[in-house]
Structure 1
Amino acid sequence: IQWLLALYDGQAVEFSVEEVEAGNTTLGHRFMAPDLIKIEDFAQYRQSLEEHYVIVDPVRRRNLVIDEVRKAVRDKVGEDGTPVLHQGLIDTVTNLVEYPHGVCGSFAEKFLALPNEALVTSMREHQKYFPVVDNNGKLLPFFVAVNNTAIKDRELAASGHERVLRARLEDGLFFFNKDTQETLAGRMDALSGIIFQKQLGTMADKSMRIAALSAYLAELLEPSLQEDAVRAARLAKVDLLTEMVGEFPSLQGIIGCEYALLDGEKSAVAKAIHEHYLPIRAGGKLPESLLGAIVGMADRVDTLVGCFAIGERPTGNKDAFGQRRLALGLIAIIRSRNLSLSLQDLLDKALEGYAGRIDAQKDTLVDLLAFIRLRFENDLVAAGMKQEVVEAATSVGFDDLCDCLARIEALQGIRSRDEFAVLAASFKRVRNIIKENRETVVDPALFSEDAEQELFATLTAIRDQVHPLVRAKKYGDALIVLLTIKEPVDHFFDDVMVMADDPAVRINRLNLLTALADLVLQIGDISRMHVE
């Protein structure tokens, strides 16, 4: 801390931080105007600092960064060049400078032989430079740096930046040329030298497990993709062995895709190598191809199952393998492509891949499915869904995620109807009465009340309507049919004593209510949606 400025109603606020006393003065730009400035109010603070080459307003400073970058390209390249204005880089540069000045430099065209992402990463991430492209989006041998001081000699300033970038690009070109001397397929066996996790084996072991899971998923979702899925899975992690990824870790998958294309692999396989890492973060870009989605799901499930099996599970302050992110990624992929599959079967298949290597902890898959379910529920609630609606659906079945989502949407669509609110209250009473009863065999000969007969007749009639609607996943229509049982249920509770003295009658009435509950629970536990 160099100095502190603190004013309240024009008066300096007296306090200190680490022996630095607050006052009513600040300083201008460190190099261009390092004068002491007395401040009276905020308006004068902004004006005085700008006169001393410090732009206080971050929005205005950001706009100036963009203007300077565009002007630098226009002056150097003309109308044939356009800067790539990456929003994250703009934000970073805005917070690095006080008074932006753009300068456009160039580099040798030989470096354009590098994969685009390698070039862009060298400029954007390592040097905070903006790449330049032509009107077709193709990279040009130019870049823009943003200085924090006025530039008197632009050629001299540009040459300094060029010298720094050239050294990094020379390294990149060396790595690229060395990497391309061997194909990705030729490196696969070397993955046995990289440990994935001590108990779970090497990256070679993981690649084999991912390949097996990818084959299983392809057979389930699109059998024609099975061969390509296995190939993409086997190659997916090989770029970890390359010099380029060693230098630029953020290019995992991207470099694998580029090298696979150079090796003559199918474009779909190469694309899947890149896409299997997507999404990188919550809300991030998702795989465009089913092949990429298949390998991505296989990779995530393998890690989740392995970690849970050995007790390496997320805690409040530890998530070494990013399992929350992996679970959210798995959910996002399934939802984005509306994939109907059994999570339980997928997890079972993944655990088979660890046979002979580890002894899975008790309830591994039960706990993992609950972990994924919680991520799913939290994600939906954060997006605006009512928690009680989400839990009404997930509590009765979460194996098929997209089926669960369809039931949630149906429950959400009907929850505002008055008759549904009454039915939800009655169903809560049903659930409380039947407790652990599971029998549904009903003997009409034991009925002694008209309300019993009415409920049984209505239940029998609507069951024939609801079952085909549920099989067709028309859950909204099924719920509308179920609303017709509201009045018979009300009459039943008004006129019938469920817990009769006669054991046979009592059990018969419990079974009738249990049969009703089983029908409703095919969609959701609507008792959770009852509001007192």
Structure 2
Amino acid sequence: MIDLLVEIGTEELPPKALKKLSDAFTDGIVSGLKDAGLQAAEVYPYAAPRRLAVWLKGVPAQQKDQIIERRGPAVAAAFDKDGNPSKAAEGFARSCGVEFSALQQVETDKGAWLVFRQQQQGQNTADLFPAIVEKSLSALPIPKRMRWGSGTAEFVRPVHWIVMLANDTVIDAEILGIKTDRETRGHRFHAPAAVSISKPEDYAVQLGQAFVVARFEARRDMIKAKVEALAAELGGTAIMPEELLDEVTALVEWPVPVAGRFEERFLDVPQEALISTMQDNQKYFALVDANGKLMPNFITITNIESSDVAQISSGNERVIRPRFSDAEFFWNQDKKQPLESRREQLKSMVFQQKLGTLYNKSGRVAQLAAYTAKQLGADEALAVRAAELGKCDLVTNMVFEFTELQGTMGRYYAQHDNEPAEVATAMEEQYMPRFAGDELPSTATGRILALAERLDTLAGIFGIGQKPTGAKDPFALRRAALGVLRILIEQQLPLDLADLLDKAADGLTTQLGSKPDTQEALDYILDRLKAYYQEQGIGANLVEAVASLKPTQPLDFDRRVKAVAAFRALPAAESLAAANKRISNILKKIDNPPETIDAGLLQVDAEKTLATAVQVQQEKVVPLFAAGEYEDALLSLAELREPVDKFFDDVMVMADDEALKNNRLAMLNQMRGLFLRVADLSVL
């Protein structure tokens, strides 16, 4: 066994892409070794601003010998009519570098074939490693590669050194125009001299002595711990989004936290604007107190151990001050004009060429919101007001500068204008959920506005024939559809999607000149249920069993799916699903299956028992279906297992006597109809 090490030394790599590049580089090397029949006992990836590296511990020093097999023409085509080798067979032998007599035959389920088998001696792993590394580098997810100097090599950033070791020996190769060596570089300022790596297992230790924490996860954990400790000293808690933590980790090799402070007057500005500036522009960690209120402090991560920390702190404070001053100015200016007065400006903002302006859209959304509120018994006036004001913050100075604050600033401006509290909250909640797993609107008006916004967009974009294709989804319709489903299901709203989309289409009629068809939009939204339930561990066949009945109320759909999932866990489920499949196949062959059972025609004990059981179940489950108690209904129907099994064992359904046959078909049709009130169990 040997240990392998490769390090690609570069100029500073893109921080937002560093982790992804590291993962892909490591996976590519591991995959390359696997293709060569090799596997490391342990794999340690490293990623820092100026390097991507992998240590592969415990790799076989040599491949195992392999039998290489090439298949040639079929034996039937390998000989002419005189029994001599055909031209195809001789050509195959020549391509293998042997005489025809060296070929063998192999029998398969598709016939007999000529084959050439040859034993290939395993190669040294160290000899294979450079090509494996090169293949991994060429496959990295780099949108745009660059060249440097006079060479032709291309990479995400200029490459300055390559370390490649097998145990304590340099693997001699040239990669990206650089000769491999054992010399890496330490910290750009603290330890700029070359560092000679003795062997792979010493890599991280030697770099640590040169002020480089090479392991991405170790550096990330170090930053998190240091920021938390410093925040506690300042009497607060640091806000550390995962994305920001990853980006800061990718910016430094030797993380050192430094605290800074800003004037308390800036705290009069909505804290989301200040936090956004600190995180997005400066990569600072903002601090909040025990009540979640922003503190006039921040923490930044520097890449050096400074002898004058106060100077670094002061410099960062100077940088943040003008940005906060801009935010303060925008906030004060925007407050001078109420949201309602900005609605006219939406007439100049195009939503979509065929669907009109944001002003047009807000009018349609208001109509749909009013209808939805009426359906739910909510306050129609609040829903309409929220819809009319919903996009007005888009024309404010603050949102123009900080686009990610749309909705949030709308809430602040609505509060300043003394709009009803629920209207102000809805300004922000209309965008929820923003991403998978995000929280949902907490108010009735917020839910209504979030639904109306998305449904108008879905009905409109599908109505003009611009549905998403492949990876292109410019109006984020996939996210919109999932958002609609989550709100309706998780917030228990008994609304019918087909009905809501039809009302959305009514609102589009004037704009488009005719009422658009919404069936495609409806199908698209309901198709997203497969992904929704997949994340919950519910199989696609369970969803399909319900979807085959085409229910259009997502909350009702959810109850059915949960009921089928519970039924599927019962001992009777498999037998009854098979019976449903059998009955389905029988009834498919009949144009108009009979529905009425004549008790006088029941002859065999098994059919009499089943008929009685079906009648009993009908009386028990029909009220449950009416109440939407699908799980209780299916649990009750599971009692049919024994009489159904006995029926199929003892009774000939397709009897010669036409009346007898029709009576038995009617009984099966009635029973299947009960199950179809929930789902098509034959799909299972």
How high is the TM-score relative to the length of structure 1? 0.92
Residue 150 of structure 1 aligns to a residue whose secondary structure is coil
- Of 333-342 and 78-87, more deviation after overlay is shown by 78-87
Choose the corresponding residue for 2:395, options 241, 249, 252. Answer: 241
Unaligned stretches of 5+ residues in structure 2: 1-158
Which structure has the highest strand share of the two? 2
Aligned positions of 1:329-478 closer than 5 A: 329-358=483-512, 364-435=517-588, 437=591, 439-444=593-598, 447=601, 449-450=603-604, 451-478=606-633
With over 3 angstroms needed to count, the CA separation of the structure-2 counterparts of 1:139 and 1:515, relative to structure 1, is: same
**Distance verdict in 2 for CA 1:457–1:240, change over 3 Å:** same
Aligned residue among 181, 184, 195 for 1:26 = 184
The match for 1:319 is: 473
Distance apart, 1:98 and its partner CA: 0.6
In the other structure, the counterpart of 1:85 is 240
Compute the displacement of 1:103 (Å).
1.9
Task: Answer yes or no: is the 8 Å Cα contact 1:373–1:398 preserved in 2.
Answer: no
Deviations 1:20-78 (A, max 9, x none): 3333221001122111111123332111111111012333322332344356557xxx5
CA distance in 2, matches of 1:416, 1:66: 44
User: What amino acid is the match of 1:248?
Assistant: F
Distance 1:9 1:370, change over 3 A: farther
> How big is each residue's C-alpha offset from its partner over 1:444-489, in whole Å with a ceiling of 9 and x where there is no partner?
1783633544433332221111101111222222123212333443
Counterpart position of 2:117: none
Deviations 1:397-437 (A, max 9, x none): 43121222222222222223332211111110000111164
Match of 1:131 among 272, 286, 290: 286
For 1:289 and 1:438, the matched residues in 2 are separated by 50
Aligned-residue offset at 1:374: 2.0
Match of residue 171 from structure 2: 13
Structure ID, larger Rg: 2
Quickly say closer, same or farther: Cα 1:400–1:155, change in 2 above 3 A: same
Any idea what SS the aligned residue of 1:3 has? strand
Q: Which residue of 2 aligns with 1:149?
A: 304
| Greater displacement, 442-451 / 136-145 | 442-451
Correspondence list, 1:213-252, <5 A: 213-223=368-378, 225-252=379-406
Deviation at 1:2, TM superposition (A): 2.5
Paired residue secondary structure (2:287):
strand
CA distance in 1, matches of 2:317, 2:176: 41
Look up the match of 2:195.
37
Q: 1:369 to 1:446 in 2, by over 3 A?
A: farther
1:263 aligns with 2:417: yes
1:341 partner SS: coil
Contact 2:432 2:450 in 1 (8 A): yes
Q: Find the aligned partners of 1:479 and 1:187 in 2 and give their Cα distance.
A: 55
Letter in 1 for 2:403: P
Alpha-carbon displacement from aligned partner over 1:300-319 (angstroms, at most 9, x marks no partner): 11111111111111121211
Counterparts of 1:115 and 1:271, CA distance in 2: 15
* Cα distance in structure 2, aligned partners of 1:521 and 1:359: 40
Count matched residues: 524
Please identify runs of 4+ aligned residues in structure 1 that moved more than 6 A. Answer: 359-362
2:440 to 286, 307, 310: 286
The answer to whether the 8 A contact 1:278-1:296 is kept is yes
Aligned in 2, Cα 1:456/1:61: closer, same or farther, shift over 3 Å?
Answer: same
Amino acid at match of 1:130: F
**For 1:125 and 1:226, how far apart are their aligned partners in 2?**
38
Mark the CA change 1:423 to 1:162 in structure 2 (over 3 Å): closer, same or farther: same
- Going from structure 1 to structure 2, the CA distance change for 1:72 and 1:389 (only over 3 Å counts) comes to closer
Select 1:173's aligned residue among 324, 328, 335: 328
Q: Give 2:221's aligned residue.
A: 63
Change (3 A) 1:475 1:443: closer
Where does structure 1 lack aligned partners over 5 or more consecutive residues? none
Deviation track 1:320-342 (CA, whole Å, cap 9, x = no partner) reads 11111111111111222121111
For 1:418 and 1:266, the matched residues in 2 are separated by 55
Per-residue CA deviation, residues 358-392 of structure 1 (Å, 9 max, x unaligned), is: 26798x43322222222112221232112222221
Q: Judge conservation of contact 1:105–1:158 (CA < 8 Å) in 2.
A: yes
> Which residue, 625, 641, 644 being the options, matches 1:489?
644
Q: Is the 8 A contact 1:309 1:360 kept in 2?
A: no
- Contact (CA 8 Å) 1:309, 1:359: kept in 2 or not? no
- State the Cα deviation string for residues 486-510 of structure 1 (Å, max 9, x = none): 3443344345444455666555543
Asked if 2 retains the 8 angstrom alpha-carbon contact of 1:437 and 1:510, the reply is: no
Whole-Å separation in 2 of the counterparts to 1:65 and 1:178: 38
Identify if the C-alpha distance between structure 1 residues 448 and 476 changes in structure 2 by more than 3 Å, giving closer, same or farther: closer
Shift of 1:294: 1.4
**Which of residues 81, 94, 114 in structure 1 aligns to 2:249?**
94
The answer (yes or no) to whether the contact 1:449–1:495 under 8 Å persists in 2 is no
Change (3 A) 1:440 1:262: farther
User: Could you tell me which residue of structure 1 aligns to residue 683 of structure 2?
Assistant: 528
- Alignment partner, residue 39 of structure 2: none
Q: Could you tell me the percent identity over the aligned residues?
A: 39
2:15 equivalent in structure 1? none
Identify the residue that residue 211 of structure 2 maps to in structure 1.
53
Q: CA deviation at 1:443?
A: 4.9
Distance of 1:174 and 1:479 partners within structure 2: 63
Amino acid at match of 2:308: D
- CA distance 1:361–1:378, shift in 2 (3 Å): farther
Hey, what's the Cα distance between the residues in 2 that align with 1:247 and 1:14?
A: 53
Higher helix share: 1
- In the TM superposition, what is the alpha-carbon distance from 1:525 to its structure 2 partner? 0.9
Cα separation, 2, equivalents of 1:470 and 1:8: 69
CA distance in 1, matches of 2:514, 2:306: 64
Candidates 104, 109, 112, aligned match of 2:259: 104
Give the TM-score normalised by structure 2.
Answer: 0.72
Q: Which amino acid aligns with 2:408?
A: I
| Structure 2 residue identity aligned to 1:266 | P
